[in-house]
Amino acid sequence: MSIDYKKEIERLKKKLPVTVVGHYYQRDEVFEMADITGDSLELARRCDADNNPWVVFCGVGFMGQSVKIIAPEKRVLMPKIACCAMARMMDGSYFDESVAYMNKHGIKTEDILPITYINSDASVKAKVGVMGGMVCTSSNAYKIIEKGLESGKKILFVPDRCLGQNFANSMGLKSCVIGAEGEECNPQEADVICFNGFCSVHQLFTVDDIEFYREKFEGIKIAVHPECDPAVVDAADFAGSTSQLIKYVNDLDPEQKVAIGTEYNLVNRMRKGNTYVLSSTKPECPTMNETTLEDLYLTLKSIEDNKPINEIFVEPEIRKYAKLALDRMLAL
């Protein structure tokens, strides 16, 4: 006999003290089951304020970790412990190497203020916390970098080179990328020094795509996520986090055509006649798409059966320092 997953998920949600959380990039059928939806910043905030002791997080690993760091008393389960490809590009040792690179170029450790994008492992957030740094998301990076600059220190931005460079550009700051091909990164001459990480999904959008749409539809607007290449962000009309993109599109005249450069599930959900995906290939995030309705059902069922699966744990020492970096962001 086949299981009606939707019906079973509804039953389990009613019965159990659990909150189902879903990022905008989740498949539609999973997203529809979530009690809380939003961008990474909203999800971190709202999970903390939520009263249920259980959280089932449909998203990628760093998001579940962030809830566990902010609210350790909660039991956090993930239907799929899928790791964001960008977060996987950096660990504690790469972070140390980046600091060593700056040291080698005459910048003392005490003169570095690290900022990590929330798309990073807890171990990286902990390193940042120890050095007095902060976490940021794509919706508050401007504010966090601005705050960081008040220290008078050089900003080490990890792991996303695009986010670091895009916000540095928008603030009129000089940036460079450690290890970027064909480019010498001299930390003495830059305000923001970026690690060479990136999002493979957002690298799919190109300036050619923008030119294609501008030629095809006169007056079309182009809106992209700041994880896109700086040349793409430069050529776009608007760049913002997932929530900011939704607001931008909702505020447009319904007749206004817009092409959007971010993950497919979100753009597809926003599409109302005049909205296009800014790519000829389908920009799906493979790890976000791993979570299925069946996975969500099995995770909720494991709570009912008292045999929780895929629980997120963060070592106390890592949690302590990662929390410092997250709390500094939330305080702003």
Residue 287 touches which of ligand SF4, ligand 13P, none (Cβ within 5-8 Å per kind): ligand SF4
The number of C-alpha atoms within 13 Å of 55 and in the hemisphere containing its C-beta is: 31
Tokens of 236: 């776009």
142: closest CA among 192, 202, 201, 81?
Answer: 192
Going residue by residue from 54 to 93, which x/- string records binding to ligand SF4, judged by CB under 6 A? ------x-----------------------xxx-------
* Residue reference for tokens 């700041």: 226
Could you say which of 199, 220, 267, 326 contacts ligand 13P (CB under 6 A)? 199
**Cα–Cα distance between 175 and 190 in angstroms, integer?**
5
Tokens of 118: 């929330």
Residue 265 touches which of ligand SF4, ligand 13P, none (Cβ within 5-8 Å per kind): none
CB-nearer residue toward ligand 13P: 80 or 225: 225
Q: Is 227 in the site for ligand 13P (CB under 6 A)?
A: yes
**Which helix (H) or strand (E) covers residue 328, if one does?**
helix 316-331
Question: How near is the Cβ of 122 to ligand 13P at its closest, in Å?
Answer: 16
Residue 85 touches which of ligand SF4, ligand 13P, none (Cβ within 5-8 Å per kind): ligand SF4
**Cα–Cα distance between 43 and 48 in angstroms, integer?**
8
- Are residues 15 and 54 in contact, defined by beta-carbon separation less than 8 angstroms? no
By CB under 6 A, the count of residues binding ligand SF4 is: 12
**Cα–Cα distance between 43 and 79 in angstroms, integer?**
16
Could you say which of 66, 98, 116, 119 contacts ligand 13P (CB under 6 A)? 119
- Binding interface with ligand 13P (CB under 6 A): 39-40, 119, 137-138, 199, 225, 227, 241-242
